[in-house]
Amino acid sequence: MAALASGALFGIGLAMSGMTDPRRVLGFLDLFGDFDPTLLFVLGGAVMTTVVLFRFVLRRGSPVLASTFHLSNLRHIDRRLLGGAAIFGVGWGIAGYCPGPALAGLGIGSREALWFVPAMIIGMLLHRIVNRS
Amino acid sequence: MTAWLIALAGGVLIGLAATLLLWLNGRVAGVSGIVNGVIFPKREDTAWRAAFLIGLIAAGGLYMALVPGAALPRTDYSRAGLIVAGILVGFGTRMGNGCTSGHGVCGLGRLSLRSLGAVLTFMATAIMTTFVLRHLWTAT
């Protein structure tokens, strides 16, 4: 139930902030053209909130409904991290979708999301195949 | 309300959603990782991930359907472009262990240098890609 509520709040936040419209996202990414700074407030609002509130949450010994926090222990910045982030950024810059807004688009039956999301899952599958061999 | 104020409020909601999941379930609200965990389930962790995605898809869709002036998705982008972009996003987020939500909203919230490295990298390549496609590609 907690995860459902969190997901719902996340989806409303995405839709409200305009992230669900890739035209706005590309307008934000178009730094050297018709730059639209609105989405800076989305990232700013989200990160300010987590920077402040995560401190209080992580000060607790454990979460309310589970025994431990599941956090990544990875610290190092390596080629895998930066290479993956670089590839993700290219994909984001092509169509203007990152995973969350694309999924929210499924909820309204967006034609673009219906192509993008399965392709994204194929990309994840390809990564598993490449990593296995 | 002005556009930037609505954007700020939406951003705060995203931050609150991530805080809620960490506070109650002890989990990171990284959308690409959650999708991956549902499609390729490993342990008993599928239920909360599926619940999160159902909430996101249903509430996001309902907001766009019901709220006047909500940002509706574009409808006319090329199919090939969507498929190529989707594959790159899926592959890249797995290789780099996160996307805008996991590294951006949650990782930066934990003041993780690793996430900052990822965020600066994907912002840079996304801006470069948009620049090439909008200003170089079309000019030729």
Instruction: Find, in chain A, the residue whose alpha carbon is nearest to that of B113.
Output: A75
Domain that holds residue A103: 2-132
Residue pair A52/A28 in contact by the 8 Å Cβ criterion: no
Total count of domains within chain A = 1
Best of A39, A69, A124, A127 to disrupt the B interface by mutation (most B CBs within 10 Å)? A124
Sole residue written with tokens 């599926």: B50
Interface A–B counts its CB contacts (< 8 A) at: 489
What's this model's pTM, rounded to 2 decimal places? 0.95
ipTM of this predicted complex? 0.95
**Residue B66 touches partner A, C-beta closer than 8 Å:** no
Contact residues, B window 79-108, toward A, CB-based 8 Å cutoff:
79, 81-97, 99-101, 103-106, 108
pLDDT per residue as tens digits for the range B10-49 = 999 999 999 999 999 999 999 999 999 999 987 778 999 9
Residue A85: count of CB within 10 angstroms of its CB: 29
**Residue A35 touches partner B, C-beta closer than 8 Å:** no
Quick check: B111 pLDDT over 60? yes
pLDDT per residue as tens digits for the range A63-86 = 999 999 999 888 899 999 999 999
Low-confidence ranges of chain A (pLDDT < 70): none
